[in-house]
Chain A
Amino acid sequence: MSDMNGNGLRLKTGLAEMLKGGVIMDVTTAAQAEIAQRAGAAAVMALERVPAQIRAEGGVARMAKIAVIREIMKVVDIPVMAKCRIGHFTEAQVLQELGVDYIDESEVLTPADEAHHVDKHAFKVPFVCGARDLGEALRRIAEGAAMIRTKGEAGTGDVVHAVKHMRQIVKDIRGLTVLGEEELYAAAKELRAPYELVRMVAKSGKLPVPNFSAGGIATPADAALVRQLGAEAVFVGSGIFMSDSINFAPAKEAEIRARAIVRATTHFDDPKVLLETSEDCTGAMKGLAVAALSEADMLQKRGW
């Protein structure tokens, strides 16, 4: 039968290991997926609308049209991910049946359940979930997530909350490592996370699954910033293909940005390369300052 914590989980986190040091790019068409692959993306996220568009257009955001995902799967050789709504296990079943390589149970889409996330152990396909702090990350891991990414504030092109969440997770982990055995029970209670996972993190000083960053990353320097803060790979959503919340950037410019962000993500600790990649990029999406957003407009509040 299925072995939740043995081989199944190793295969799931195994693919996340393969993505380390790489960039996972949001794409909405086969043409964009080809650009992403050509630019050196380690994987693509197949979407109907990128977060910036979802934010601008409003309405209920659901799993992407199957035809869109299928076409993207057809044109690229790299892994293809897709998003399902928080708690929408049927969308996840559909995506697994379709054969996507990873499912993002994402706050970018409109949640389908106000209390429960998907039981990710029940699936063979691996899941990535967003988190703002260690407790949230461990709750998702307890449910079977094989990769964690910061939530940040998707679709803004403002990196401030990706930074905030990565710093918070790293700080929370560091805090656990100095606690005594007997203090871990109370720590688990405060984190609202299973004791066994808390103990594992306290011992190893890291999450038991790969820890990536997402949410507002728009420039090569942004990507390098979250990498230096501890992210093992980077998701770039609206930052590559959008020029603002509504309009796409010209394909040529998008490809230049994509290449520069890929390079900056690998050479994240080499200022010389970061200067070159920053110089290569002639523009970035206009963006939306997170500080000017009202609480109700924040996607990161979704999920529990």
Chain B
Amino acid sequence: MSDQITIGVLALQGDYDAHRQTLSLLGVRSVLVRKPEELDDIDGLVIPGGESSTFLKFLDREGFLAKLRDFVSQKPAFGTCAGAILLAKEVRNPTQESLGILDIAIQRNAYGRQIDSSIMTGPTKLDGPPLEMVFIRAPRIERTGAGVEVLAEREQHPVLVRQGKILAATFHPELSSDTRVHELFVNMVREQEKPRVQVTR
């Protein structure tokens, strides 16, 4: 098929395995990304959950952060939990470096420690029934810019947001059997790829 896309999953540390399994359920080819040059061959990037401070240690080397900034300014990216933190314009508790592509302010570990982690079900703007949302030591989105569409909320705070070709969740769709959030991202990548395919043919 000409619309065969490849999605990269950033695998510096975190739940990259879970994301790959969900993508594989959807029949989408995925590869693990551990080095900056591996960004060259993918159509979209998933930034998984994990520890954002650990991710930054790796991004500090070999111009990885600059290359990743460049990537997310051109191609679709989807961050969950730590991934959402990495995409955000502003990170609180503590302040830390990020890609700054998604116009939100996000607070790390905003709901407490692991014993405060929870699974909730709530309405979303996605088609279909309410969505199960797995929150693990989750961050909280405290401000969204004008261009950011809120697709789901928890206690009046956005938990699933989209701005152009950037998608972010403070929960972990990759830990649920409901694949709708990943489907949305896969469609965003396909949309993005369409014009390019036409130009090159």
Instruction: Give the B-binding residues of A (Cβ under 8 A).
Output: 7, 10-11, 14-15, 17-22, 37, 39-43, 77-79, 96, 99-102, 124-126, 232, 259, 262-263, 266-267, 270
User: Quick one: which of B12, B16, B114, B119 contacts A15, CB cutoff 8 A?
Assistant: B114
Determine whether the beta carbon of B15 is less than 8 Å from that of A78. Answer: no
Interface residues on B, range: 20 to 34
Q: Which residues from chain A contact B134 at a C-beta distance below 8 Å?
A: 10-11, 14
Interfacial chain B residues near A15, Cβ < 8 Å = 114, 117, 136-137
Q: Which of A40, A99, A124 contacts B54 (CB 8 A)?
A: A40
CB of A22 within 8 A of CB of B58, answer no
Closest 9 CB pairs of A and B: A40-B57, A101-B114, A17-B15, A22-B13, A21-B13, A7-B119, A40-B54, A14-B136, A99-B113
Cα separation A259 to B60 with both chains bound (whole Å):
12
B42 to chain A, nearest CB (A): 18
B148 in the interface (beta carbon within 8 A):
no
A232 to B175, CA, bound (A): 17
Which A residues touch B34, using CB under 8 A?
A: 266-267, 270
Cβ–Cβ contact A18 & B49, under 8 A? yes
Does B181 touch A at the CB level, under 8 Å? no
Q: Is the CB of A77 within 8 A of B11?
A: no
CB pair B13–A78 under 8 Å, yes or no, is no
Footprint of A on B, CB under 8 Å? Answer: 11-18, 34, 49-51, 53-54, 57-58, 81-82, 93-94, 108-109, 112-115, 117-119, 134, 136-137, 172, 175
Q: In the complex, what residues of A have CB within 8 A of residue B58's CB?
A: 40, 263, 266
List the A residue with the shortest CB-CB distance to B48.
A18
Across the interface, which residues of B come within 8 angstroms of A37, CB to CB?
53
Contact B51 A124 (CB under 8 A): no
Q: A124 CA to B114 CA in the complex, in Å? A: 9
Which residue in chain A gives the minimum CB-CB distance to B136?
A14
Known: A11-B136, A17-B49, A259-B57. Is A102-B114 also a contact (CB below 8 A)? yes
- A40: chain B residues at CB < 8 Å are 13, 53-54, 57-58
Q: Contact: A17 with B113, CB < 8 Å?
A: no
B175–A10 contact, CB under 8 A?
Answer: yes
Whether A42 pairs with B51 at a CB distance below 8 angstroms is yes
Name the one of A14, A19, A21, A232 contacting B117, with C-beta atoms under 8 angstroms: A14
